[in-house]
Amino acid sequence: MLSSADRDSRYDILSAGPPVIRGRHFGGVELWLVTGYDEVVTVLTDPRFSNDLSRQDSVPLPGANLPEDLRTALTSTLAAYDPPDHTRLRRLVSHAFTPSRIQRLGPRVEQVVDDLLTGLADHVDADGTVDLMEHFAHQLPILVIGELLGVPSGDQQRWRSSAEGLTSGDPARIVADARELIAYMTGAIAVRRSERWDGDDLLTALVRARDDGDRFSEGELVSMALSILIAGHRTTAHLVRTMAVLVLTGAVRCSDPAGVPALVEEILRRHGSAEVGTLRIAREPVELGGATIAPGDLVQVVLATANRDHRRFGEPGVIDSARRDNAHLAFGHGMHYCLGAALARSMAHAALAGLLRSASAMTPSRSPALVITDPSSAVLSVRLGQPV
């Protein structure tokens, strides 16, 4: 397992080397690792690289060992499609997942952050500590995303447990939790199709979304809702935990609330939750970064190294909230830019502001690990002083 220092060192070394190198996928398949900023942007925007791996027999597809119905529901996300399918789905979802919807949610996000931080005192263990990962970082996205989708508060923790089960590595649990989530979502969609339903949540908006007569199929609705829940929960929880470690260790400071958004962007650049992008495949020969990529070659962009590229960012190892033109790639780039970026930023802004306000009342019970290398390192225990 890699410590945070080991990980940083590995990415810094990669970002200082050639921008395109040979590597291996976790399944043992050879691929091209694209590490340079400009080269990553090229892969993310050039139609010669395809996201659709379904016709490639040699590619270790996500969820390959799952029953077909579960694999389809869990992997048929926007990131898996090329135009025109991607264009169609993105256009439909844009009618529901609107900037105004996220903006309206802002005050509620801030309230959830305040409630969670204030409520930490109710979760102090027998040893006098409270786990910020469990009672803050995990809870914030599940409560906000659950409310956004219209999941009743009594069901939100059940959703979290099932969502975490999908990444547990236990095949039996993955199948059981996937079936539970799909059944739950299918039922929720059926309720929202009723003429008597008058809700205004995101799931309702997705059900009602129309574009020139087109609409989501049942399977597309289930996949879309699950991807929002699963991806949004995991990545945001890890980002909030990272911010908590940086605040508690004094690695970041900000006395002016107006500086929080810029500080969040720098944390995203240096410590974004998504270290790599979706696996892609070359459609035709491509000369990139001094390498010749052949048709059928697999390509993986490394967002973490692109965001540390000294050719693009001055002093990339420094978290500098005054950095100009911080066009980081933490949420990707181009047509596959993260659908939930605005929501993630909203939660990150509120969480970081709350942590900065509360930091003086928290003391880490042990040296906190920035990188989660095993389940025990995910725990972020603090002792509370004066009420948060």
Q: What is the reported pTM?
A: 0.91
Give the domain extent around 65.
4-384
Mean pLDDT, consecutive 10-residue stretches, the chain (388 aa), reads: 62 87 79 96 97 70 70 80 92 92 96 97 92 94 94 87 79 88 92 88 94 90 90 91 94 92 96 90 95 94 95 93 93 94 97 95 84 65 75
Number of domains observed in the structure of the chain:
1
The C-alpha torsion from 322 through 323 and 328 to 331, rounded to 10°, is 0
Q: Report the run of H or E that residue 243 belongs to, with start and end.
A: helix 218-248
Alpha carbons within 13 A on the beta-carbon side of 144: 38
Helix, strand, coil percentages for the chain (3-state, nearest 5): 55, 10, 35
Give me the CATH number covering residue 161. 1.10.630.10
Residue 72 C-alpha from the chain's centroid: 20
pLDDT in the model for residue 330: 96
pLDDT in the model for residue 372: 61
Burial class (CB in 10 A: 0-12, 13-18, 19+), 122: exposed
Cα–Cα distance for residue pair 178/162, rounded to 1 Å: 7
pLDDT in the model for residue 2: 45
150: left (phi over 0), alpha (psi -120 to 50) or beta: left
